[in-house]
Amino acid sequence: MEIHRFEKLWLFVSVILIVGFIATITYGSVAAGITMVSDSGGTIQPDNFDNTGFEDPGVRHAGGDEYEVYVVARQFFFEPGSSEPIRVPEDSTVTFYVTTPDVIHGFALAGTNVNAMIIPGQVTKMTVHFDEPGEYGIVCNEYCGSGHHTMEGQVIVVPEEDWEGGSQ
């Protein structure tokens, strides 16, 4: 089988490109610490949230500048998030735990790289650092039924001096 030398060169460059892509992604994961959403949130019974943290969803102070936020996504709102915003202080590290009792949803903070799937039976765990005060819209970005486009919420990152502490 005869391969033209230009084609050999092209093949070589292509493989370098592919290996390069894999290397940069590996760097992002290992060195820059961009971890993927994974199975670390564990599983849950979708019809029974007792003693899981989701029976009373909301913001909890986990010590220092760390907070845990339990959110239940339902057709077609986030609790908390939709009828009342999720409030966390600026310069905090926030771990979101999100699950749903009904269908698959999405949980994305518009304009950021916070973005994940919410699947019945699974707990989505993601840790986010909020540097500055601001308001972020929560968008359900997976089709979840006829009211899908109304499923929205808000995270408010409160300035340090206005933060009253404790759970909201």
Footprint on residues 149-168 left by other proteins (CB under 8 A): 149-150, 152-154
Q: What are phi and psi of 120, to 5 degrees?
A: -55, 135
Residue 31 corresponds to which tokens in the numbers above?
A: 């060195």
CB of 157 to other proteins, least distance (A): 14
Contacting range for other proteins; rule: CB under 8 A; set: 11-19, 62-70, 88-96, 157-165: 11-19
What pairs with residue 157 in β-bridges? 88, 134
Size of the site for other proteins (CB under 8 A): 72
Task: Give 46-72 as a DSSP string.
Answer: TT--TTSS-SS-EEEE-STTEEEEEEE
Is the Cβ–Cβ distance between 68 and 58 less than 8 Å?
no
Q: Strands 105-109 and 134-139: what pairing?
A: antiparallel
CB of 64 to other proteins, least distance (A): 26
With CB under 8 A as the contact rule, the residue among 146, 161, 165, 166 that binds other proteins is: 146
Contacting range for other proteins; rule: CB under 8 A; set: 54-62, 64-72, 88-96, 146-154: 146-154
Q: Is residue 12 part of the contact set for other proteins (CB under 8 A)?
A: no
For residue 88, which of 49, 120, 60 has the smallest C-alpha distance? 60
Binders in 125-144 for other proteins, by CB under 8 A: 125, 135, 137-144
Q: Cα dihedral sign for 78, 141, 152, 158? A: positive
Binders in 54-73 for other proteins, by CB under 8 A: none
Binders in 76-135 for other proteins, by CB under 8 A: 101-104, 106, 108, 110-125, 135
> Between 138 and 157, whose beta carbon lies closer to other proteins?
138
| Buried/exposed code over 55-66 (b: 16+ C-beta within 10 A; e: otherwise) | eebbbbbeeebe
Q: Is residue 47 part of the contact set for other proteins (CB under 8 A)?
A: yes
> Between 111 and 159, whose beta carbon lies closer to other proteins?
111
